[in-house]
Amino acid sequence: MFGYVKPFQPELKVKELDTYKALYCSLCKSMGKYSGVFSRFFLNYDFVFLVLLCLSLSDDAPEFCQKRCFVHPMKKRSCCTCSHSQKELIFCSDAVSIATYYKILDNIEDNPKISGIFFRILLLFLIGPRKKAIRRNPELEDIFKTAFENQIEVENSADTDSDKAAHPFANALSTLFSLISDDKDTRTVLERLGYLLGRFIYLADAFDDFEKDKRKNNFNPFSSMSKDDALVFANESLRSTVYELNVTLDLLSVRRYGDIIKNILSFGLLNTIKIINSKKERSE
């Protein structure tokens, strides 16, 4: 379900790309520092967006420094672990640990056989990070646990359409995003932004897995349609979600990184849709 929220690089300025990369490294570093070395392998782009959003609203601007890391031992890279952005980075690392934990649990539900064993082994690596995360941010555990349970319930009920199916995860991100700010107006915007982004991620994932789910007889919100209908409908559904995200983003007053966020939510998400579409065309 991860990796759908990325910037569209051709439309980024070089300095914006540098910032984005630096934030990526920052999150990776702080995951290693606060959640254990293994948790770093679960890093992905969606959570870099969370970091971006948190820091775009924080009072103090993050400060960057050059550090070495074992993935890129040759060259020092910018990151901001040592500065006052610590609180935000720990929050995001914890979100990675907990969200990924439940994501893998969900995979185990869907793949009971051999690949299920693989996911079970993966899960072992997340037990430690998740425990640490719960100690620091217990509300995160509530959010994703509820979403996981509601998701199972929704997928087992008979009359599930795309809106209902996307609701648990969308709701989870809505609550997660609302934790970022204390300001009332900003929270209202963040809640809708989170809801729509969660909806996008869920539906994009469902659209991406459409054929696989049909073959394996797993739940998929589009499975009641024929392939052609699903293609049109999923596209429309995703596109209207992206449109609403952009309309909502216009109301968010950020302190910095506004252009990068705009890039991700407009070009980036549209590009994600395009990639999924072209994958489908190629497989035909």
The phi, psi pair for 67, rounded to 5°, reads -140, 155
Q: Does 281 bind another protein (CB under 8 A)?
A: no
| Residue number with CB closer to another protein (137 or 160) | 160
What residue type is 195 in one-letter code? Y
Q: Does 244 bind another protein (CB under 8 A)?
A: yes
| Residue number with CB closer to another protein (120 or 274) | 274
Q: Does 229 bind another protein (CB under 8 A)?
A: no
Q: Do 269 and 46 touch, CB atoms closer than 8 A?
A: no
Q: Does 243 bind another protein (CB under 8 A)?
A: yes
The phi, psi pair for 79, rounded to 5°, reads -160, 170
Contacts for 133 with CB less than 8 Å, ≥ 6 apart = 35, 93, 94, 95, 97, 98, 140, 141
Q: Does 273 bind another protein (CB under 8 A)?
A: yes
Q: Do 70 and 50 touch, CB atoms closer than 8 A?
A: no
Q: Does 236 bind another protein (CB under 8 A)?
A: yes
CA separation for the pair 45, 49 (Å, rounded): 7
Q: Does 170 bind another protein (CB under 8 A)?
A: yes
What is the closest distance, in whole angstroms, from the C-beta atom of residue 283 to another protein in the complex? 22
What is the closest distance, in whole angstroms, from the C-beta atom of residue 135 to another protein in the complex? 32
CA separation for the pair 8, 264 (Å, rounded): 6
The residues that bridge with 113 in the sheet, in sequence order, are none
Q: Does 59 bind another protein (CB under 8 A)?
A: no
| Residue number with CB closer to another protein (34 or 200) | 200
Q: Do 248 and 53 touch, CB atoms closer than 8 A?
A: no
Q: 21 is written with which tokens? A: 């990369």
| Residue number with CB closer to another protein (126 or 165) | 165
Q: Does 172 bind another protein (CB under 8 A)?
A: no
* Own/partner long-range contacts of 42-45 (Cβ < 8 Å, ≥24 apart): 42/96, 42/97, 42/100, 42/125, 42/126, 43/96, 44/2, 44/3, 44/96, 45/2, 45/3, 45/5, 45/6
Contacts for 32 with CB less than 8 Å, ≥ 6 apart = 39, 40
What is the closest distance, in whole angstroms, from the C-beta atom of residue 204 to another protein in the complex? 13
* Listed ranges 99-107, 140-148, 175-183, 240-248: which one lies at the site for another protein (CB under 8 A): 240-248
Give burial (CB, 10 Å; 0-12/13-18/19+) of 256. Answer: middle
* Listed ranges 60-68, 74-82, 140-148, 184-192: which one lies at the site for another protein (CB under 8 A): 184-192
| Residue number with CB closer to another protein (149 or 185) | 185
What is the closest distance, in whole angstroms, from the C-beta atom of residue 81 to another protein in the complex? 32
Which single residue is written with the structure tokens 């935000």? 88
* Listed ranges 78-86, 91-99, 195-203, 256-264: which one lies at the site for another protein (CB under 8 A): 195-203
Q: Does 11 bind another protein (CB under 8 A)?
A: no
Query: What residues between 149 and 168 interact with another protein by CB under 8 A?
Result: 161-164, 167
What residue type is 88 in one-letter code? E
Binding residues for another protein (CB under 8 A) = 161-164, 167, 170, 185, 188-189, 192, 195-196, 199, 233, 236-237, 239-244, 247-248, 250-251, 270, 273
